[in-house]
Chains A and B, each alone.
Chain A
Amino acid sequence: MTVRKRKLGRGVAMVGAGMSRFGVHQNLNTRDLFVEAFLDMKKSVDRGIDPKDIEALYLGNAAAEVWEAQGSTGPIMASVTGLTPIPALKIEDACASSGVALREGIIAVASGLYDVVLVGGTEKMNTLPTDWNTLALASFSDTLYEGAAGFSFPALYASMATAYMHKHGISHDDLLRGAIKNHLNGALNPKAHFKQTIKELMEARIARARQRNEPVPTWANEMDFLHDPRANPVVAWPNTLFDCCPVSDGAACALLCAEDIAKNFTDTPIYIIGTGHASGHSLTDRDTLTSIPAARLAAKQAYDMAGVTPKDIKIAEVHDCFTIAEVMAIGDLGFFAEGKEAATAAGEGKTARDGVKPVNTSGGLKCKGHPVGASGVAMAVEIFEQMKGHAGARQVKKDVNLALTHNVGAHGTTVVVHIFERRA
C-alpha cells in the first residue's frame, strides 16, 4: 500500500496533561476517575485553564457498556467535569480508544474548527467475575472466528509469541526481561498500578510467608521467581501472569490547542508534529504473525509528517499489553530490527531509562496499568511530564526534545502513533 504524505492544516500543541491513579479502585467509577484525571490535568497547565475555553471533548472508552452497564460516556464525562454543553464524543477502538481520541482532537484543532479541546479516556475494568472479564476482553478479538476458536485475549498475543520464538529463536526469558525493565520504571511512578519492582514483589512474598509461618520460598533471584508457576502461573501459554498487563481502573486527559495560542498557557508547549493511524486485519488475514502491519503503516505516516526518523526519537511509550507486544512494537517502530535484536533490547539495557532508547519510562501498560480506554492518552501524559522535566524519580537524564507514543487497539487491528516535539 502506498502511503500519501499528509500534513496538519495548522500546528497543534499539548499544553496540559494529567491522569488518575491507576489500579484496582473498588469505590471509583469511570466518572470519578475521569474527574481525578481532569483535576490533575488542570494543575499541569502552567498559566492555568478556564474550563469555559474548552470547546469539545474527545473521549476514549472501550466497554463501559459491559463493565458498568453504562453507555453515553462522552456527555457524562462532559457533565461531571463541568464542560456541558460542548460536543462530547465517545470513541471506541478497544485498547486504542483514547489514542484515536487524541488523534481526532488533533485533527479537529488542525482543521480550524476549535482552538482548544480536551482529549482523554476512562475505563473501569474491575467489576466482573474472571470468566465474564475473559469474555469482555476477548470481545476485542474477531469473536466470530478467533473468539469462537477458543482464543482468550492473552492467547492471541501468546500465539504471536510462539510464532516469534519459532521464527527468531528467542527465549521466553527474553520476554520476561521486558517485564522486569518496565517494573523498574513503574516502581518510580506514584500513579502506577504496581509501585514495586519484580524483585520487591518477590521479597514481599517471602516476607509474608515468614510472617504467616508458611514455608518460605527459596527464589535465588527475580528470574527464578518468574520461573516458579506458583508465583507466576500460566495465563495463556507462553504468556505467564508477569507477561500480562494488569486489569486496571483509571483515566487520563490532555489539553490541546492551536499552536499560535499555545504560549498563552505555557512557555514550553509540547508540539504534536506527527500523527499516524492505520487499521489491520484479524490474525488469519495477515501476511505476518511476528509484526503488526498497522503499526508499521501508522509509524511511517507519523515519521513522514514529522520529517524525523526512528533514530531521532529520544524516548517512546509503546503498547506493551503483553511482553511480546513491546518486542514487536520496537521492531515495527524501526528502533531495533525484528528478531533477536528487538527481543534482547530490554535484557541488554538498551530500552532502560539510561539506555540508548528508553521505552516505557512510565512503567508501561505492564506496571503502570492498562485501563484500556485510557491508555492511549496516558502514554501522552508520560511524554508530557518527561519532556517538561516533571517526571520526578523516573526522569530521563538526557534532553527529551522528541518523543513518540504507540497505541494498539485489540491485537493490532488499530494502531495510532504520535510524535511530540519540545522546541528549545
Chain B
Amino acid sequence: MKEKSIYEHLKEKGLSRRDFIKLCGTIAGMMGLEFAPPVKALGKMVHPDPTEMVAKALSSQPKLPIVWLEFQDCAGCSEAMSRSSSPLLSKLVLNDLAIEYHETLMASAGYQAEKAKEECLKDYYGRYVLVVEGSPTLAEDGIYCTVAGKSNLDLLREAADGAAAIIATGNCASFGGIPKAKPNPTRACGVGEIIKDKPVVNIPGCPAIPEVTTGTILHFLIMGKLPETDHLKRPLVFYGHTVHDHCLRRPFYEAGKFADNFDGDRARKGYCLYHLGCKGPITYNACASLKWERGLSYPVQSGHPCLGCSEPNFWDGGGFYQGQSAALIPPAAKTSALAAGAGLAAGATLAGINSAKKNRAKKALASAAENSPTDSTTAAPPEKKEE
C-alpha cells in the first residue's frame, strides 16, 4: 500500500486546504525561502512560488521518520522545542513528521522503547533523519553515557549507519558544549568529530532555537537535502548573520551609548551591552531576527548580554561579563614582576660585561701610558663614559 502523504495525514486530522496553504507559506517564510530554486519549463527558467513548492512537497512526501538521540545533555533543546513559539511548526514536527524515538518525549519506556527504536532503524534504513542532542563522549569507549546498557558511541554509530542525514542540535551535540568545558573529563566532542561519512548539520545554541531545528528538518523534507552551511556546518539561512547585525540595541552601539552595569539608568534605557560582555558581534545566530516565544524577546532584548552560545567552546571563551576588548589573561603582578626582573637581570649583566670591557681598555691605556712616559698627557683615560 502506498504510504500516506503528510498532507493526507493532516487532512485526516481536520486541517482545511486553506490552513494547509497558510502553513506552507509559514514554513517557506521561516526557512528563508525567498524564491525556490529555478526550474526549466518550456525552454525558460521559471522561479516557482516557494509556498507552492512546500505544498507540493508536503502533499507528495510520506512522513519523515526522525530518531532523536540524547547523550550528555540537559534536554533543554527538546524542552525548547516542545514549548516552541510557533506551535504550528513544532506540532507539525512532533506529531506529523513522526518522531519515532525520543527518550524524553515518548510515552513508552524501557524495553518497549528500545524495541520501537530497533524496528524504526530497520524499517526506515537509509531514510530517517537522526537528530542528536547532547555531546557524545570519547573517554573510555563512551562508558560515561549509556542507555539500555549500550555506550553512547555504539548508539550513535548504530543510528548514524542508516541515517539519511544527521542534525546535531544544541551546542553540546554540535561542538561539545558545556560537557566539553575544561577539564572535560569525559572527552566530550561534537557529533561531526565522530561521524565523518554522513552529512551532518549543526544547529548550535543553548538551547538551539526550536524554529531553526524544525526549519532544518523541514528543509530536508522539502528539498531532499540539508541546507547550505558555513565552515562550522551551520545552516547559512539561520547562521549567516551575527546577533549584533540584527540587534535592536545596535543604534545605541553606533551612537556610542553603553550600559555600564545591569542596574543603572543606562541599562534601563536599553543602551548597548558591549561593556557588560556582550558577544553579539562575534556570535552567528538567528536570535535577533527570529527571537523566542513567538518573537517576544531574546536575551539582549531582555537585558542580558549575548553569551555566544552558538560558537564552539563558548563556555571557556573568557568571562561572560567582561567587555569584548578586555584582555582574557591579564598578566598577574607576579608575572609582570618576573618579566621586569628578567629584563633587569639581562640589562645589568650586559651592562656589567660592557663596563668590565671598558675598565680593561682603560687599564690597558694606563699601562701603555706608564710604559711610554712621554705620551702620558695624551693617553689619559677619557673622562666621559661611553658605550
Note whether A and B form a binding pair: no
Q: Which residues of B contact A (CB under 8 A)?
A: none
A-side residues, CB < 8 A to B, are none
